[in-house]
Amino acid sequence: AQKVTQAQTEISVVEKEDVTLDCVYETRDTTYYLFWYKQPPSGELVFLIRRNSFDEQNEISGRYSWNFQKSTSSFNFTITASQVVDSAVYFCAPAVSGGYNKLIFGAGTRLAVHP
């Protein structure tokens, strides 16, 4: 079965530290899309990034960056100089073709950033 693993259940850092959230997935597809979502304590789900599998360039958006490695099926997310407002649960979600391209969400990584 195609699945996604976010091995870090919880991460706790102090403000201004850099932190990387790992995501490893399984897929039989050669082309596919990957997503990251953020769920802050308020509960809403916020889209962060979409990546297609045929573009292996790393992406940076402000303090956020993503490292996609197709060879190892990983799509890691780094927050540079973390802030308290980054405290949230972060979900990695690949889209799997075997299931009509539905998103398979990882279990999430809870990030706590302390002042």
Partner 1 sequence: DTAVSQTPKYLVTQMGNDKSIKCEQNLGHDTMYWYKQDSKKFLKIMFSYNNKELIINETVPNRFSPKSPDKAHLNLHINSLELGDSAVYFCASSQVQGRDEQYFGPGTRLTVT
* Residue ranges binding partner 1 (CB under 8 A): 32-33, 35, 37, 39, 43-47, 50, 89, 91, 95-97, 99-103, 105, 107-108, 110
Residue 35 Cβ vs partner 1, minimum distance, rounded to whole Å:
6
Residue 72 φ then ψ, to 5°: -110, 5
**DSSP readout, 9-37?**
SEEEEETT--EEE--EE--S-SS-EEEEE
Task: Tell me whether residue 79 or residue 108 sits nearer to partner 1 (CB atom).
Answer: 108
Distance CA 63, CA 115 (A): 17
Residue 96 Cβ vs partner 1, minimum distance, rounded to whole Å:
8
Residue 38 Cβ vs partner 1, minimum distance, rounded to whole Å:
11
What secondary structure letter does DSSP report for 99?
G
